[in-house]
A and B are shown apart, each in its own frame.
Chain A
Amino acid sequence: MRTKTLWLWLALLVTSLALVAAGCGGDDEEAAGTGATTGAAGGSEAADQTITVNWGTEPPSLDPGLASDVTSANILFNIMDPLVKLDDDLNPVPAAAESFETSEDGKTVTFKLRNDIKWTNGDPVTAQDFEYSWKRTVSPELAADYAYQFSPIVGADEYNACDPKKDNCKALADKMGVKAVDDKTLEVTLKAATPWFVQQVAHHSFLAVNKKVVEQFGDKWTEPANIVTNGPFKLQRWEHNANIDLVKWEAWRDADSVKLTRVNGRMITDGLTAVQAFEAGEIDVLNGGLPTDEIARLKETPEYDQYTGLGTYYEGFNVKNVPDVKQRRAMSLAINRRSIIDNIAQADQLPATGFTPKGMPGFDTINPDSPWMPEEGDVEKAKQLMSEVANPVKNVTFYVNDSPGHREIAVAIQSTWKQELGIDSTIKQQEFQQYLEFLGPPPNKDVDVYRLGWIGDFVDAINFLELWTCDSGNNSTNYCNKDYDAKIEEARTTEDNDARYKLYGEAEQILFGENGDMPVIPIYFYTYTNLEKESVKDSFNLNLLDQVDLTQVVVTE
């Protein structure tokens, strides 16, 4: 059966090559143009601008305050209008706000809203809507996961920590530093200059909700019959765990630029089922990752597409149990990242050379190009380093969670450590929730090495590097270095990008440089893999945060 499919692809490939060769010529110039009337692959705009996307899971919540996952974010960004968007270089550009301005001292940010923005029920979108929404998300009553995104704002933490049974929360809400000066002006007061704040506002938790609708329907305001939105698409149908359909909203401020008229969403959870549905032509885009078993085959198809992701896969040490830095360096040196990527992970992930992933603004300055992470490992050097360790730890317990793939990577590392360094490791697998409890912080004493990943929320390296500060709630290594913390603290208030990137670079050097402490071993930087029909492949694109802007998608013939 496989060979048959292969022949089919081959035939398709030959035909499409022939087509390209025949109808070529002006293609490149056209593609460089507006892209509105001609797709880059030489096809013209199709009459039917409908696509079916498999999002992979049900969006757990379409409430901007409560959504905390990438699927919800993807739907939200296409039905709501954010104040600012990130452009291709990840700089914030105006969207629902026509402009934004940061004061001299960096502590006040003022957003001016556009005049032509409205809700699907006809109400204008006002600065009051944003004030209401932000305070709602921070409020202890809503109990939102992402309330901490608002932490840079004056009074947000205090309001969030208030106990409605004891304190006067209303007064604390009034003190929070977000204020609608008039219908179209939103003024935000920050605790300290926060250089990445405007970028952070592009996060979905900063979207506005319609006060009237939220108060009328309570928890149920996101159901399709109730929901009121303000973005390029409207939620037409949402059958939980089955379909989520969006239709173009003709009254949106920039509706003329939107080509798609309809986006049918499916929620096929099982990877193999999704691939089969794609191959049967039932879906146009398979978003949300491909099953590892199938990647090798799917990579050869013309519909395969992959994107750089803002995430890092790493193995962490419990530095109390593996205290010698030379041993930690040796253990990192021995790992062949190239082999892990090619043989196990298989999605062309990038071998890590630091903790902050590629794609992050300032990456070239930040990346330490660690001497302890050569792409294919350096066994000789590792052995030598290991021999210098005074009291080597020869038995380690290596914890992983039980999702597919992690064990395989751990086994590969285990065998390298055993063969090259004489370290015996015992791999223990745990179910994810139990695993997270086990890691703390502080981690269970039994943990010597553990695996985790980190996916960025917003595009500033602080989001990655603050993990390894002493008090970080995500630092399960027991690692604590005051110099490192000082660098991160300094970076927090350094407004100038280049100066801040330099500080991040110095922080990375403390972790992974020539004299680096190696509390963790970064393995690779994530990629996202998709299957996309050729009619949308050119215009359906994911950004670093795994988000797609459906207003940019065009179906070509």
Chain B
Amino acid sequence: MLKFIIRRIFWTIPVLLVVIFLTFIMMRQIEGNPFRQTERNVPESIQKNLERKFHLDEPWYTQYAYYVKGVFTFDLGPSLVIRGRDVNDIVKTHFPKSVELGLYAFIFAMVVGIPLGMVAALKHNTAIDYTAMFFSNVFHAIPSFLVATLLIYFVALEAGALPTSGWTTWESKILPSIALGFAPMALFARLVRGTMLETLQQDYVRTARAKGLHYKRVVGLHVLRNSLIPVITAAGPLLGFIITGSFVIELIFNIPGIGQYYVTAVSSRDYSVVMGLTVLLSGIVILANLIVDILYGVLDPRTRDART
């Protein structure tokens, strides 16, 4: 197991190198000037000073080497556009907020989605099932920005129950977490329902019931555990994406997370920020996948044996 983990971690290095290389190439291929953010053109001597300051006057391979060195020494360099701030600062200040938001949304999705799916599967083809699945499909289809806008309108503005935006008090964290958690919640509900229905048909379930085991115990011990594998498969990358991909929610609720930086950095051609955040986010997705692989082993011993 340990060997497996070490090997996987080792493999992230070439993956990261490829990520850095591709991002580097792509950022340089799109036109634009990080030092010109408005109509106002930058005079030549000032442009030169800026390029010198940020090493943009050096050949591309030297610049690439700077980035690679930066990534592996955990110094992602200064932002080209937000003068006076380092990418490290930005990550340190804003990434925890995105993680927090992602985790709350994820917990909401699990806590609501999994029981919903279970109930739907156990009450298969009843009104409860249909209602649960109807709402799951609807919520899965509605984009999060619409959910967010509706929540703000009805809960914050009309009812005045919660603040419209911000990420300060616990009250302000409720709406964004729910808005972000809705789609994965629906996904979980549908996944759990599907796999659980399948598991309920299995011979060993029937055997367990036949030998007199209590229904609740069969569901709790055998069915649920085996139904969760596909959920875990989906959950790993999903967690990665929830943490990294909450840009829209961050924008609508004005949450100072990393998503906003990522998107604005691309449009303002802030090379170092784009590079730093891409590496960070790829790292997160790689890590999430690794955790999933480890969890497989815990849930299903067969996969554990196969890879030692």
Contact = CB atoms under 8 A, between A and B. Distances in A.
B297 interface: no
Given A273-B254, A433-B33, A163 B52 contact: yes
B207 interface: no
Contacts of A268: 165, 254
A269 B251 contact: yes
B269 A277 contact: no
B41 A157 contact: no
B46 A148 contact: yes
Contact of A144 (B46, B86, B158, B260): B46
B103 to A, nearest CB: 19
A63 B268 contact: no
Chain B, interface residues (CB within 8 Å), range: 35 or more
Interface in A325-348: none
A240 interface: yes
A490 B251 CA distance: 49
A219 interface: yes
A219 B45 CA distance: 22
A33 interface: no
Nearest to A401: B39
Interface in A208-226: 219-220, 222
B49 A140 contact: yes
B39 A452 contact: yes
B156 to A, nearest CB: 6
A266 B256 CA distance: 11
Contact of A473 (B41, B93, B152): B41
Contacts of A35: none
Contact of A433 (B50, B163, B268): B268
Interface in A128-148: 140-141, 143-145, 147-148
A140 B252 CA distance: 39
B143 interface: no
B167 interface: yes
B50 A143 contact: yes
B7 interface: no
A329 B152 CA distance: 49
B94 interface: yes
A161 interface: yes
A405 interface: no
Contact of A143 (B52, B254, B256): B52
A495 interface: no
Interface stretch (A350-358, A434-442, A520-528): A434-442
B106 interface: no
A270 B252 contact: yes
B138 interface: no
Given A61-B84, A143-B49, A276 B267 contact: no
A29 interface: no
Nearest to B152: A276
A203 to B, nearest CB: 13
Given A270-B251, A434-B31, A276 B164 contact: yes
Contacts of B94: 240-241
A307 interface: no
B84 A222 contact: yes
Interface in B251-308: 251-254, 256, 260-261, 267-269
A272 B81 CA distance: 26
Interface string B146-163: 000100110011101001
B42 interface: yes
A474 interface: yes
A280 B152 CA distance: 10
Given A280-B163, A454-B39, A474-B41, A63 B83 contact: yes
Contacts of A422: none
A6 B40 CA distance: 42
A60 B42 CA distance: 17
Interface in B159-203: 160, 163-168
Given A276-B165, A279-B157, A280-B156, A60 B83 contact: yes
A343 to B, nearest CB: 25
Interface in B17-51: 30-33, 35-46, 48-50
A273 B165 contact: yes
A282 B252 CA distance: 15
Contact of B93 (A60, A240, A270, A282): A240
B41 to A, nearest CB: 4
B55 to A, nearest CB: 12
A453 B39 contact: yes
5 pairs of A and B residues whose beta carbons are closest in the complex: A433-B32, A241-B256, A473-B41, A143-B49, A161-B45
28 contacts: A1-B153, A61-B83, A66-B84, A69-B38, A145-B35, A157-B45, A161-B48, A163-B52, A219-B78, A219-B86, A222-B84, A240-B90, A242-B254, A242-B256, A269-B260, A273-B152, A276-B156, A277-B254, A280-B160, A282-B164, A433-B32, A434-B30, A436-B32, A436-B36, A436-B39, A453-B39, A473-B41, A473-B43
Interface of A: 1, 58, 60-61, 63, 66, 68-69, 140-141, 143-145, 147-148, 157, 160-161, 163-165, 219-220, 222, 239-242, 266-270, 272-273, 276-277, 279-280, 282, 431-434, 436-438, 441, 452-455, 473-474
Given A147-B46, A268-B254, A437-B31, 16 more contacts: A60-B83, A69-B38, A160-B49, A164-B52, A242-B166, A266-B166, A270-B254, A276-B164, A279-B157, A433-B269, A434-B30, A434-B31, A436-B32, A436-B39, A473-B44, A474-B41
